[in-house]
C-alpha cells in the first residue's frame, strides 16, 4: 500500500490516479496509524512552505514522516513535498522545513516565475526512480523555488532554467522530484512505476 499524505496541499487525486495507473494500491489519508502502516509514502504538494509546515504540525504528522523515513520505508516528495525535506526556505523570510536533508530552498532570481511547463532533466546520479529514463527527458515543472542540497552526491538530476538547479534527489530510501511526474505523461508514469516497483 502506498500512502499519499493529505495535508491540504497539492493535487492529491492526480497523483493517486497516476500511481494507480501504473499498478499501485493507494490511499489518501491524514491518519497517523495508516501512514505508519504504509509500505511506501508519497508527500505531494503545491504552494508555500510555511502554511504546509503549519498544517503538518497541526496534524501531528512531522514526527510520523521522520519516523517512517528513519525506518527505511521508500519516501517520495513531489514539488513542495521535496522542498519540505530540507532545513530551511527563504520563502516568506526564512522558514524551517523538516530538516531531514541538509540544504536550503532558494528563489529563482531575475527570471520569470513560476517556471511553468516542460523542461529537460540531465541525469547526474542513476537513481532507481530514473531507471529506463533517457538522460535528456522532458518533464513538467511548476515552481518558483528550488532546492540546494548541502550534499551534492544526493543530486539525481539537474535542469537549466537561467541557472542549473536540482530537479531530483536520491538518498537511500528518500526520493524527491521538483517536477510533477503525474503531469509528465509517459516519462512521469515510468518514474512513478519505478517507485511502485522498488
Active site residue 180: yes
Grid coordinates given for 75:
519516501
Do 126 and 168 meet the contact criterion of CB atoms below 8 Å apart? no
Pick the catalytic residue: 79, 91, 104, 143?
Answer: 79
Helix (H) or strand (E) run with residue 170 in it: strand 163-171
Do 46 and 80 meet the contact criterion of CB atoms below 8 Å apart? yes
Tally of CB atoms within 10 A around 158:
19
Give the burial string for 110-137 (b: 16+ CB within 10 Å, else e). Answer: eeeeebeeebbbebbbebebbeebeeeb
Active site residue 63: no
The HSE-up count of residue 11 (CA atoms within 13 Å, CB side) is 11
Active site residue 142: no
Pick the catalytic residue: 91, 104, 143, 182?
Answer: 182
* Straight-line distance from the first to the last Cα atom of the chain, in angstroms, rounded to the nearest whole number: 12
Catalytic residue set? 79, 180, 182
Amino acid at each position: 500500500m502506498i500512502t499519499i499524505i493529505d495535508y491540504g496541499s497539492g493535487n492529491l487525486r492526480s497523483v493517486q490516479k497516476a500511481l494507480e495507473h501504473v499498478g499501485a494500491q493507494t490511499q489518501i489519508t491524514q491518519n497517523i496509524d495508516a501512514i505508519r502502516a504504509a509500505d511506501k509514502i508519497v508527500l505531494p504538494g503545491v504552494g508555500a512552505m510555511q502554511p504546509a509546515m503549519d498544517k503538518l504540525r497541526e496534524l501531528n504528522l512531522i514526527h510520523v514522516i521522520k519516523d517512517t523515513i528513519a525506518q527505511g520505508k521508500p519516501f517520495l516528495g513531489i514539488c513542495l513535498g521535496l522542498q519540505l525535506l530540507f532545513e530551511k526556505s527563504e520563502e516568506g523570510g526564512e522558514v524551517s522545513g523538516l530538516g531531514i536533508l541538509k540544504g536550503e530552498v532558494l528563489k529563482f532570481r531575475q527570471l520569470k516565475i513560476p517556471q511553468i511547463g516542460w523542461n529537460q532533466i540531465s541525469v547526474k546520479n542513476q537513481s532507481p526512480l530514473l531507471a529506463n529514463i533517457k538522460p535528456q527527458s522532458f518533464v513538467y515543472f511548476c515552481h518558483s523555488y528550488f532546492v540546494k542540497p548541502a550534499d551534492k552526491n544526493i543530486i539525481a538530476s539537474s535542469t537549466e532554467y537561467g541557472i542549473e538547479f536540482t530537479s531530483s534527489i536520491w538518498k537511500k530510501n528518500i526520493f524527491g522530484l521538483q517536477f510533477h511526474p503525474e503531469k509528465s505523461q509517459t516519462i512521469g508514469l515510468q518514474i512513478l512505476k519505478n517507485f511502485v516497483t522498488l
